Amino acid sequence: CDVETEEEAIKAIKRVSKFKNNEATTEVVYDEVTYKLHYFNKLTQQDQLSQYADKVFESYKGLPFKVQIDFGVLLQEKLDGNNYKFSARIPSLDNAFKHKQSTITDKKSLEQFKVDMFKQLRELMERTYEDTRNLIVGIFNVMFATYKLIDTGSRMPYLDKHVKQHSIHYIDSDYKICFFIVLSYKIRSEIDKKVDNHSVVTFSKQLFAYYYSIKGKYQLFEYLYNNAAKKDQSLNKYLQDYQGFNISTEMTKFTETLNLVVNIYAYHEELEGKTGQYRQFNSYGQINNESMTLDLLLISDGSEQHVMYVSNVEKLTGVLICPHCHDYVIILSDTNKRANEYFNTHVEKCKSSNHEPSILLHDVPMPICPAILNHPTVEYLMAGGLIDQFKAQRGFITYDFETLSDQ
């Protein structure tokens, strides 16, 4: 709204329906993510911002979420002389995206968010006419744009097309413990010749109990062979209340506790049927002599996520990478079998190589000076047999040596 006085601008703001109440919430879907917008319209003191942040935190009842904020501001535009024009800019999701995004998981991260929030407010109010045509003369409300961090666990209806891939394995469960199921599948597949789905689910519950330090009648790997422990039903309550594994907040602890390197691959629907539809998008953990590598496929529909075990990454991605030098790469092809043969030949040679750089001499005796010979002019003269006409230009190379006394 554009008006001539500040009072008229404030009246126009109050006519907007969502600002009539002191507080209001609404939901907006953007890029397949559902954002919850929290409006607080009676903003008169800075201390209120801290109270509003606490209310947003309490509304999520301890669940982790992402948050960005934007303020509704009253703007004053200088025209000429002492004439001004006033306007109001209400908070929007687009403007919130321009500011820092924070992840709130506990009280500590909430306090850090408050520090960032007051910093954003201070930077907003310090603007002058030298920075912008519109001077901010008032702040009338604040909007918290939040969305819940997606938990990983429950099965989604469209997983079946991925399970058809022979390198992807999925076992259904009544609980949201897919992260522990894939780890259990990895361990059991290295122990058993044929993986039994029931044994995988059973052991995944024990991994769940071990990771979250839930006391029971058994130790971790004793559970593989302890039939009495398998009948223990004390975990059911924890499993029923479990909302899923949160990659953003738990992955570091997960990899460190179980000594894992976790490679997560994602599916790109726009490339379906083409090489590259499955790509690695993140890796967690540090490789050491005792670490176990766990390859996962992460599938999301915007509101839920699920992970499945990948037993053959090369078949999933359609790309072969030399495991020794990591430089030789080919795309798997049913038609170009010669490329596959070249790859196998390279791997055999690379296996016995020490991977130290070496100079491959040319068949014809010639000086090794790539800085000169790779020059396009030199290449042209050599191709035309005119190299004798080339006259090198004399130049100088200067070195600057600095010394320190040894005391």
Residue 344 has pLDDT above 80, yes or no: yes
Least confident of 16-30, 134-148, 362-376: 362-376
pLDDT digits 0-9 by tens, 265-318: 887 765 565 555 677 778 888 888 888 889 988 877 555 677 888 888 777 777
The token pair that represents 376 in the structure block: 């396009």
The H or E element spanning position 355 is none
Residue 153 has pLDDT above 90, yes or no: no
Q: 259 phi and psi, to 5 degrees?
A: 50, 60
Q: What is the model's pLDDT at position 131?
A: 53
Least confident of 29-38, 155-164, 243-252, 295-304: 155-164
Residue 32 has pLDDT above 60, yes or no: yes
pLDDT digits 0-9 by tens, 163-216: 555 577 878 777 888 889 989 989 888 887 778 888 888 888 888 888 888 865
d(CA 34, CA 301): 12
pLDDT band at 44 (very low <50, low <70, confident <90, very high): confident
Q: Kindly state the average pLDDT of the residues 4-28.
A: 64
Nearest partner of 103 among 248, 243, 245, judged by Cα? 248
Domain boundaries, the chain: 2-148, 157-311
Model confidence, pTM: 0.47
pLDDT band at 56 (very low <50, low <70, confident <90, very high): very high
Task: Provide, rounded to the nearest whole percent, the portion of the chain with pLDDT above 90.
Answer: 5
How many other C-beta atoms can be found within 10 angstroms of the C-beta atom of residue 79? 8
Question: Rg of the chain over CA atoms, in angstroms?
Answer: 31
Strand 33-40, strand 2-3: pairing:
unpaired
The H or E element spanning position 316 is helix 313-317
Q: Which amino acid is at 273?
A: G
- Top-confidence residue, 1 or 238: 238
d(CA 309, CA 3): 61
78: left (phi over 0), alpha (psi -120 to 50) or beta: beta
* Strand, coil or helix: 367: coil
Q: What is the model's pLDDT at position 273?
A: 55
pLDDT digits 0-9 by tens, 110-152: 999 999 998 888 888 776 655 556 777 778 888 999 987 755 4
Residue 349 has pLDDT above 70, yes or no: yes
Q: Kindly state the average pLDDT of the residues 14-29.
A: 70
Name the average pLDDT for the chain.
Answer: 76
Do 36 and 27 contact (CB within 8 A), yes or no?
yes
Q: Which residues contact 154 (CB under 8 A, 6 or more apart)?
A: 176, 178, 244, 304, 306
Helices (H), 60-196: 93-96, 107-125, 160-163, 178-191
Residue 160 has pLDDT above 70, yes or no: no
d(CA 378, CA 401): 33
CATH architecture group of domain 157-311 = Alpha-Beta Complex (3.90)
Q: What is the model's pLDDT at position 155?
A: 47
Residue 20 has pLDDT above 80, yes or no: no
pLDDT digits 0-9 by tens, 5-15: 555 655 655 55
Residue 262 has pLDDT above 80, yes or no: yes
